[in-house]
Amino acid sequence: MVRPLVVRHTAGSYAVIIRSGSRADLAALLNERHPGTRAAVIADSNVAAALGSPLPAAPLFTFPAGEAHKSRATWADLTDRLLAERFDRQTVIVAFGGGVTTDLAGFVAATFLRGVPWIAVPTTTLAMLDAAVGGKTGVDTGAGKNLVGAFHWPSAVICDPAALSTLPERSYREGLAEAVKHAATLDDRYGEWISRNTVAIAGRDGAVLESLIRRSVELKADVVAEDERESGRRAVLNAGHTVAHALERATDYAMPHGEAVAIGLVLETRVAERMGVARAGTANQVAALLTALRLPIEPPSLDHERVMNAMVADKKNRGGVVHAALIASFGTMARDGDAWTHALDLRVLAEIL
Ligand SMILES: NC(=O)c1ccc[n+]([C@@H]2O[C@H](COP(=O)([O-])OP(=O)(O)OC[C@H]3O[C@@H](n4cnc5c(N)ncnc54)[C@H](O)[C@@H]3O)[C@@H](O)[C@H]2O)c1
Ligand SMILES: [Zn+2]
């Protein structure tokens, strides 16, 4: 059996199991890790329809699929239903779905009766590579994404690449942008490995997906272990995301997150080159890898002013200056003295847009 990956954090550690078919081991894992508890599975409507429940013996709580339902209203509905079903402190939540579900169900677990344990069973590329690891949970509000939430680490994460078989092609592909982000910011050899394996990745080959998920989770977990609450180095995980969040807002979230990240990585790196922060040619290297994975690298025609306004309105921006984590060369982040972010040259960005 493949050795599970162990992610350490201030309050302990958890295993990330990455293996085709591994969601069948959920019941055994629950018995071992949480004896004497009652499990409640939370899944969205699409995932429940496509994959059923990974724990047929436990009650399944569904909510309507989509980012619009990662909300306080859904959180209230789910916690009310758990209370109505008399779930008590001896509860363990199983989050079965994409990043919307792991964020939302993780937040339910963080808050239900002041916090119960949870296990993440991600079912999208994006959630396996990124969202399910790191302990960030939460919901969106009218003012923006992820504005209400908590740090609450899962007690285990089960990544079963076989669960990706029902994922629509566009969703499958967009999540790969986060793997490119991990490679471009932290590991050029991982980037080379991805570019040698694009055909197998596109074909959802189980063994290649296991390696891909494993390397991304390792890279993310290392960064998170060093900087859990995002004061310093964790900012590297936001590479591409300053522009990505602005693109998402400017399109009223019609643009999928991963596609926005792909475009954001390229645009931010082009700006970094013009600022003299990134080595010339780095943006093209990032773009080539994204293109090989059939991800977009150019923004669609949109209202550029809306994008620029959305950028300045982002919660992460301090005092009107937009900061971004920039790549220095493929696989290496740029530093600005002690800081892991730079003030982004908005004039240059506006020109590039
Ligand atoms: N907590 C974090 O660190 C973190 C990191 C990155 C992203 N996120 C969050 O993740 C969310 C995006 O996640 P996502 O892209 O996985 O979106 P998602 O959860 O909405 O899933 C995308 C779509 O695919 C469907 N789906 C999921 N798995 C399926 C399967 N196996 N078969 C068929 N359909 C399936 C879903 O119902 C949904 O319609 C955003 O809310 C983002 O903020 C969180
Ligand atoms: Zn992201």
Ligand 2: centre distance to CA 230 (Å):
14
Give the up-direction half-sphere exposure of residue 217: CA atoms within 13 A in the CB hemisphere: 29
Higher pLDDT, 316 or 30: 30
Choose the catalytic residue: 34, 182, 215, 220.
220
pLDDT band, very low/low/confident/very high, at 307 (cuts 50, 70, 90): confident
Is the CB of residue 133 below 6 angstroms from any atom belonging to ligand 1?
Answer: no
Helix (H) or strand (E) holding 44: strand 38-44
245 is annotated as an active-site residue: yes
CA distances from 99 to 126, 146, 215 (A): 7, 12, 19
Is the CB of residue 217 below 6 angstroms from any atom belonging to ligand 1?
Answer: no
Give the rounded percent of residues in the chain with a pLDDT score beyond 70: 96
Helix (H, G, I), strand (E, B) or coil at 150: strand
Whether 5-166 and 169-352 share one fold: the answer is: no
The closest residue, in CA terms, to atom 22 on ligand 1 is: 98
35-49 pLDDT, tens digit per residue, is: 999 999 999 999 999
Q: Which residue ranges make up each domain of the chain?
A: 5-166, 169-352
CATH class for the region spanning 5-166: alpha beta
Contacts of residue 7, defined as CB under 8 A and 6 or more positions apart, other chains included, come to 13, 14, 15, 16, 133, 157, 217, 221, 224, 225
Helix, strand and coil content of the chain, in percent to the nearest 5, comes to 50, 20, 30
pTM of the prediction? Answer: 0.94
What fold characterizes domain 169-352? Answer: Dehydroquinate synthase-like, alpha domain (1.20.1090)
Choose the catalytic residue: 23, 182, 249, 257.
257
66-86 pLDDT, tens digit per residue, is: 999 999 999 999 999 999 999
